[in-house]
A = this chain, B = another copy of it.
Amino acid sequence: NIQAEYLIRVRELLPSGKPLHFWGIGHPSTFAFFVALGADSFDSAAYALFAEDGRYMTIEGTMYLKDLEEFPCDCPECSRYTPKEVKSMPQEEIMRFLARHNLHVCVREIKKVREAIRGGWLWELVQMRARYHPKLLEALIFTFKHFKDELEKREPFSKKSGLFYSGEETKERPEVYRAKKMLRRVIKVKRFFSTVLYDQVPIGLRYTYPFGQTHVPGEAEPEEEPTDEELISHILQYQFGPEAVNAFENPIVIRSKSTGMPRQVFDGEERVGMIRHYDGMFVPSLEGARKLVRVLPYPRSRVVIKRRFAETVARGTTVFTHFIEDIDPEIRPYQEVIAVDDSDSVLAVGKTILSGLEVEEFENHPFMKVRHHVLPRESETN
């Protein structure tokens, strides 16, 4: 608990762009947890100290070499020998064998953590690893309860992988905490569905992250299907706030002919965006973005671009942190946002990479990947 608390506090003090080296973290089962809290690198003599003590690390728990009848591992060391063979080696060679094996376990886990980050399932990995020992689970529960806001700030707004329930602590996950908070922006709802993690959810959000991607043991899919009106109204409010419901006059959803899933969104004759298949988020077209900007209070959902970078963004360049004049601090990574110039004209729409709060912390870092932009690319004009 103390390690977790210190780590979070130090991470809060440091700019996001600065790597944080966490010294002395020993067991690889804890790597995922500390990475999720903001650590970037580790070092520890644990692999060697454990080896000196005759201990064989595995991610499910540490065993003594003397108790092992077979190696539940494929590392180059373990592939070469049987436990019986290792036990008959001179003491020094045994230690060298164990140290190498233990180090392999650490490196393998670091690779797994990186894959989990790339795949959007880091908290799932942390929750699995927390079953390594109740103390680790205790630290995780403590962290979720006491650092909700700190964790929420850097947590992606949408992910490509599901949100898996794995115990009571799931209710305290930063994604769940945020989702419940943001549900309060969705008003005048007539139909809901019941969930374990989020309580009552407006029916129009049944496909939207995290509601539609959450898997809880024994929980069934909602039975009712949202109408077009419910879909658009609830998704827009959830993503952009209650004012967004006024953006479109006569919205219609075109559903996929093969799957029946909502796809294109029109406002009368005009295509204003689409509902993305994997996370049920509304991805506005340029016209959709213009209509949204008209109704959303400044600076909601906006990335305001400095005058001298406005044209380059309008031509489709990735938005870097130093292009940014002003920003909605509520913006989170992987969120659909609208780049505007200083007179609130739409330049581009796209997806963020960082939190709005992190703009100040990174001097020169990609912030937003542009999807649609109002001017042709340089290359296209030449």
Give the interface of A toward B (CB within 8 A): 58, 60-61, 63, 67-76, 79, 104, 108-109, 111-112, 114-116, 118-119, 121, 124-125, 127-128, 130-135, 137-138, 141, 164-168, 215-218
Contact = CB atoms under 8 A, between A and B. Distances in A.
Given A72-B111, A72-B115, A74-B76, 19 more contacts: A61-B121, A63-B119, A68-B115, A72-B112, A72-B114, A73-B74, A74-B104, A128-B128, A128-B132, A131-B131, A131-B164, A131-B166, A134-B165, A134-B216, A135-B215, A137-B217, A138-B218, A141-B217, A141-B218
B112 A60 contact: yes
Contacts of A130: 166
B164 A58 contact: no
A226 to B, nearest CB: 24
A340 to B, nearest CB: 34
Given A79-B76, A108-B73, A217-B135, A63 B115 contact: yes
A137 B130 CA distance: 15
Copies in the complex: 2
Nearest to A217: B138
B164 A134 contact: yes
A171 B75 CA distance: 36
A347 to B, nearest CB: 32
A168 B165 CA distance: 12
Question: Chain A binding site: helix, strand, loop or mixed by DSSP?
Answer: helix
Contacts of A58: 112
A70 to B, nearest CB: 5
A369 to B, nearest CB: 18
A282 to B, nearest CB: 25
A101 B5 CA distance: 39
Contacts of A131: 124, 127-128, 131, 164, 166-167
Contacts of A63: 115, 119
Contacts of A135: 215, 217
Contact of A61 (B67, B124, B127): B124
Contacts of A112: 58, 60, 72
A218 B145 CA distance: 13
A48 to B, nearest CB: 19
Nearest to A67: B119
Nearest to A77: B74
A137 B165 contact: yes
A216 B63 CA distance: 21
Contacts of A216: 134
A58 B73 CA distance: 13
Nearest to A64: B119
A111 B166 contact: no
Contacts of A132: 128
A125 to B, nearest CB: 6
B166 A134 contact: yes
A125 B76 CA distance: 24
A141 B61 CA distance: 23
B69 A115 contact: yes
B137 A71 contact: no
A58 B60 CA distance: 14
> Which of A61, A111, A121 neighbours the largest number of chain B CB atoms within 10 Å of its CB?
A61
> Which of A104, A118, A167 neighbours the largest number of chain B CB atoms within 10 Å of its CB?
A167
Contacts of A166: 130-131, 134, 137, 167
A153 to B, nearest CB: 25
Contacts of A108: 72-74
A79 B218 CA distance: 39
